[in-house]
Amino acid sequence: MNGHSVLTIVFYLAVLTLVGVPLGAYMARVYEGRARIAGKILGPVERLFYRIAGVREGADMSWKTYAFAVLAFNLAGALVVYALQRLQGSLPLNPDGMSAVTPEVSFNTASSFASNTNWQSYGGETTMSYLTQMGALTVQNFVSAATGMAVLIALIRGFTRKEATGIGNFWVDLTKSTLYVLLPLSIILAVVLVSQGVVQTFDGHAGATLVRQTVDADGHAVLEQPLAMGPAASQIAIKQLGTNGGGFFNVNSAHPFENPTALSNFFQVLSILVIAAAFCFTFGQLVRDKRQGWAIYAAMLAIFIPLLVLCTWSEQSGNPMFTHLGVDQAASALQSGGNMEGKEVRYGVADSTLWATATTAASNGSVNSMHDSFTPLGGLVPMWLMQLGEIIFGGVGSGLYGMLLYAIVAVFIAGLMVGRTPEYLGKKIEAKEMKMASLGILLPAASVLVLTAIACAGNWGTAPLANPKAHGFSEMLYAFSSQSNNNGSAFGGLTASGTFYATAGGIAMLIGRYWVIVPVLAIAGSLAKKKIVPVSPGTLPTHTPLFVGLLCGTIVLVGALTFIPALALGPIVEHLQMMGH
């Protein structure tokens, strides 16, 4: 690593923390109904929504009713996304005449955007009309993110309420998340992005005259290069803030129309983690102990920073096979050095690895470089971050409730060590909570490994690979790690639009999202019914460095035991083979 890489990392983390603390405090006031200035401006709009929808703001829901509302709302959204894709050829706002999307890709995309995964087995500018991009995909970017935020708030209420039967109202939590948090931040970010040159138009594609004329496959003269356009800035803002990640264009944030400048790059990579980081401080505010939020934040950084350093070091070190050939890979005034394959020269290694680590630490999945072209160890970092369950910051809401599942497991282990019933935030952790936490942690992991094994078993999974041997296996493992953990990024050598990967991937995304949400809400309902247990000399403090270390150890141990054998067949053996040459 060089000085520029270190400075980039330090500056990014400092700004993330400085922005996350006040944003977290603001979100806590929003969910408690104490955001006075925002309430005066947006309160009338919020109450109008409730009247139109017939929602009683004070009505509480049991965890089962809350879960049913979540599932029903997300199912309705998925059906709308599917229908708009299948009918887009006959609908307006389609200046480039996009035809209907195939059934399997429509199913995959509907599952993807409803579950906040935003995996794309299509090229946006060549497949989706403007109406589909806005009315289907952008809308789901808002409401799928707001769903994760609502579920987190319900879980926090489980810790803060005592002997209660309800965990809040999903419709109210959904509305507050969208109206008070996601929408204002998205408007601000969209304006900033437009100022940097990100496109926002309803015109069809533009044309650029070629300097040198050429011919197409049929021998016809080609005089002009078509340039895809569209209402991109408005979608990109919420794709980053809502940890969605689906690009308006096929190459995502490596495209100059999505991410044209160093400033747009910084604001976008900051927005990927900012709400997820802020939720740590919201958590501390809502449980009336800010130290709890800082402890969770510290645990996230304790895992994030070493992995970011490993990824940056690996890419900055370059490809040893090129070194043997005498290729100059050293950083200098003329080049950023290191492994520049698949990276934009506008950003270089440091900004590319920061983005790759942030986007997979969050369940974002947008890319400004091609992860398939990273070195084996550089590619292992984003893959393993996803396999941990998207909890190191993770998705907005979903990252923190996933981390709290690990916190429950950690205090349970500590309780076993000292021979007493474990407690977390004053609530006893008993058999039901452990069963639900185990389901939430293990089901996405099982989905990754089982589906990867099925893909390896036949031509249906191996034929779409562009690379053989260890790297081809890494492509399959990465794909299902991404989909089962609702990330959405991909190694680029896998053609995922065929029937097997589109269908299996859609199923994986549904498992990774909803088979975690339901156990989380079950835990919330169980905790809300319990009394608050007074702190005693035997209570494990959950705001100390000791607990941070225990939590990190639990996360790494579970991740290592689950995925190291699979990683050994992919990026680890590929690294050893590369070093051997």
**Predicted pLDDT of residue 274:** 97
User: CA–CA distance from 421 to each of 49, 51, 264 (Å)?
Assistant: 44, 46, 50
Q: What is the pLDDT of residue 581?
A: 64
Q: What is the pLDDT of residue 74?
A: 95
| pLDDT tens digits for range 81-121 | 999 999 999 999 898 888 999 999 999 999 999 999 988 88
Q: For residue 550, give its domain range.
A: 3-205+228-327+339-580
Q: What is the mean pLDDT of the chain?
A: 92
**What is the per-residue pLDDT across 146-199, written as a single tens digit (0 to 9) for each?**
999 999 999 999 999 999 999 999 999 999 999 999 999 999 999 999 999 999
Query: Mean of the pLDDT values across residues 276-303?
Result: 96
Greater model confidence, 2 or 34: 34
Q: Which residue has the tokens 């996933």?
A: 402
Residue 79 banded pLDDT, cuts 50, 70, 90 = very high
Q: How far apart are CA 111 and CA 510, in angstroms?
A: 6
Residue 90 lies in a domain: yes
Judged against a pLDDT cut of 90, whether residue 452 lies above it is answered with yes
Residue 16: band (very low, low, confident or very high) from pLDDT cuts 50, 70, 90: very high
214 located within any domain: no
pLDDT of 538 over the 80 cut: no
Q: Look at residue 494 in the predicted model and tell me its pLDDT.
A: 84
Q: Can you tell me the mean pLDDT for 321-346? A: 80
Asked if the structure places residue 73 within a domain, the reply is yes
pLDDT band at 66 (very low <50, low <70, confident <90, very high): very high
Token readout for 148 is 């994760």
Per the structure, the count of domains in the chain is 1
User: 215 lies in a domain?
Assistant: no
Is 218 part of any domain? Answer: no
Q: For position 396, what pLDDT does the model report?
A: 95
CA-wise closest residue to 470 among 555, 575, 358, 400:
575
Burial 255-276 (b: 16+ CB within 10 A, else e): bbbbbbeeebbbbbbbbbbbbb
CA atoms within 13 A on the CB side of 155: 32
Q: Is residue 334 part of a domain?
A: no
- pLDDT tens digit sequence for 484-537: 999 989 887 888 888 899 899 999 999 999 999 999 999 999 999 999 988 887
Q: Within a domain: residue 571?
A: yes
* pLDDT computed for residue 321 by the predictor: 78
Local confidence band at 324 (pLDDT 50, 70, 90 cut-offs):
confident
Would you say 116 and 243 are in contact if contact means Cβ atoms under 8 Å apart? yes
On whether residue 333 sits in a domain, the answer given is: no
Residue 494's SS3 state is strand
**Residue 78: pLDDT band with limits 50, 70, 90:** very high
